[in-house]
């Protein structure tokens, strides 16, 4: 099970990097990017490009540690079950939305247009999901236990 979650984290990190490159390379190849009027915004463009790539590289490197944290071996020798899988999935979804919203907010800051505060709220909510994914899973575990009488492991 640890190998599976390590594989999923690595696939997600590759997806994050290539999605970012696929989004920003066409913008970088336009001649208007390097005009003098846009040179002030180049730092924001570079930051919104580099944040997802750095996060993807960190996720790739930390994938074994994430899988060990998500699926610790209990004293009985059995790995953790569905709740650990849900916690890892929630964390990865939170990371994806946080990285996307950071890129959007940085582009809005650099373009000089008014900031869409909806994306700022999404950024805060996604960071809350990343930091509190285990609390959310514990709540889901309680709801599942009370609704149908079966307990998630």
Which pLDDT does position 40 carry in this prediction?
A: 55
The rounded mean pLDDT for the chain is: 78
Q: What is the DSSP letter of 31?
A: G
Q: pLDDT tens-digit profile of 32-65? A: 766 656 565 677 777 878 888 999 999 999 888 8
pTM: 0.71
The proportion of the chain whose per-residue pLDDT surpasses 70, expressed as a percent, equals 79
Residue 79 has φ and ψ, to the nearest 5°, of -75, 160
Q: Tokens representing 28?
A: 């970088």
| Ranges 58-67, 97-106, 138-147: which has the least confidence | 138-147
Predicted pLDDT at 124: 92
Q: Is the dihedral of CA 45, 48, 51, 56 positive or negative?
A: negative
Q: Where is mean pLDDT largest: 36-40, 59-63, 89-93, 149-153? A: 59-63
Q: Enumerate residues 6+ apart whose C-beta is below 8 A from 104.
A: 48, 116, 119
d(CA 24, CA 37): 19
């Amino acid at each position: 099970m640890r190998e599976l979650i390590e594989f999923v984290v690595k696939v997600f990190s590759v997806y994050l990097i290539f999605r970012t490159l696929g989004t920003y390379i066409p913008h970088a190849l336009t001649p208007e990017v390097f005009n003098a009027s846009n040179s002030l915004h180049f730092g924001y463009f570079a930051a919104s490009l580099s944040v997802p790539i750095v996060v993807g590289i960190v996720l790739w490197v930390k994938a074994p540690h994430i899988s060990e944290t998500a699926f610790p071996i209990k004293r009985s020798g059995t790995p953790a079950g569905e709740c650990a899988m849900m916690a890892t999935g929630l964390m990865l979804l939170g990371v994806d939305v946080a990285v996307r919203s950071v890129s959007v907010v940085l582009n809005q800051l650099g373009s000089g247009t008014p900031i869409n505060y909806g994306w700022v709220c999404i950024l805060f909510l996604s960071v809350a999901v990343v930091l509190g994914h285990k609390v959310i899973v514990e709540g889901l575990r309680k709801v599942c236990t009370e609704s149908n009488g079966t307990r998630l492991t």
